[in-house]
Structure 1
Amino acid sequence: MAVSLLVLVFGLPNIEQSRQEARSAQAFRLAQEIKTGTLPEDTVDPWGKLFEIRRPAEGEVTVVSRGPNGLTPSSGYDSDDVSTSMSDPPHQKIIRLKQIQVIVVLALVALPWLVLLVAAIRKR
């Protein structure tokens, strides 16, 4: 019983993961609103930095937040960047990882109990 509780306590997603997910989702929403003109271009992201507005000569305007580390590589994005051009923004990745984490933890908690149940049934 104690082991199951420990696995639950230490295995389930922590508060910081949820904070990171919320900030990333907020940054993505704000970037979309800046792009559509709902918010002014001088809006700051959840980390207190201005969004970057990229206006290529041809093509669609892109709004970018450099994320909590404030850095973006010269080509592409790093793992915490948020951009209106992303089809799979970071908060969606965090959600999927948390879902996998919950499933694994619940499986680890349930497995010993299932083994004990099967052993008890076989003894009968």
Structure 2
Amino acid sequence: MIVKFLTITVLGGLSFVVLLMLAPNIEQSLSESRISHAYNQVRYLADPHSSDSDDGLGPPVDPWGQPYQFVNDEDRIVRVVSFGPNMSSPADGFDDDDIYSDMPKSPMEAIKREKNLQWLFAFGISIATWILLTIAFLRSTRCVQK
């Protein structure tokens, strides 16, 4: 009985290793943190009520070391733009990783949705692995006992 319990526990440990292999990595979280910071910063810089005092540090830069771009449109609305991780943008608009102050939705919404799916997949595969290995083990011990 104790051997079965220990074996099932070891199978749980193997399933935990599967979970760790499928879970989102730390570097991905660092990139997501930079995107979130850039989005918050462009919203702050575009706010007409934010502090406009010159602190002598030069123009503000995004998390990738590039200066934010300030663009005035025909309605005299200021749009603040970060070119994002690829540090470039097409001449006629934005590409997928550009971050700008009047985005309809935060870029973090899609990232959170993707992260939740990654965790759901990792937990699902890990639990399924443990269940299948445990069933296979219990069936093999039942065959040996006969």
TM-score under structure 1 length normalisation = 0.81
Deviates more, 1:58-67 or 1:8-17: 58-67
Partner SS state of residue 13, structure 1: coil
* Structure-1 separation of matches of 2:100 and 2:115: 22
Partner SS state of residue 24, structure 2: coil
In structure 1, the residue matched to 2:4 is: none
Deviation at 1:44, TM superposition (A): 0.9
Moved over 4 A (4+): none
Verify the 8 A CA contact 2:83 2:97 in the aligned structure 1. yes
In structure 2, the residue matched to 1:88 is: 105
Alpha-carbon spacing, 1:39–1:16, altered in 2? closer, same or farther (3 Å):
farther
* Structure-2 separation of matches of 1:48 and 1:87: 25
* Structure-2 separation of matches of 1:59 and 1:99: 39
Verify the 8 A CA contact 2:69 2:81 in the aligned structure 1. yes
* Structure-2 separation of matches of 1:64 and 1:55: 11
Aligned residues: 122
Deviation at 1:5, TM superposition (A): 3.2
Verify the 8 A CA contact 1:22 1:91 in the aligned structure 2. no
Deviation at 1:3, TM superposition (A): 4.7
Deviation at 1:6, TM superposition (A): 3.6
Structure 1 residue 19 and structure 2 residue 36: aligned?
no
| Letter paired with 2:77 | E
Structure 2: runs of 5+ lacking an equivalent: 1-10
Verify the 8 A CA contact 1:79 1:90 in the aligned structure 2. no
The CA RMSD measured in Å over matched residues stands at 2.7
Larger Rg: 2
Verify the 8 A CA contact 1:31 1:65 in the aligned structure 2. yes
Structure 1 residue 33 and structure 2 residue 44: aligned?
yes
Deviation at 1:109, TM superposition (A): 0.7
Structure 1 residue 60 and structure 2 residue 91: aligned?
no
Q: Percent identity?
A: 30
Structure 1: runs of 5+ lacking an equivalent: none
In structure 2, the residue matched to 1:70 is: 87
Deviation at 1:59, TM superposition (A): 5.7
Alpha-carbon spacing, 1:84–1:110, altered in 2? closer, same or farther (3 Å):
same
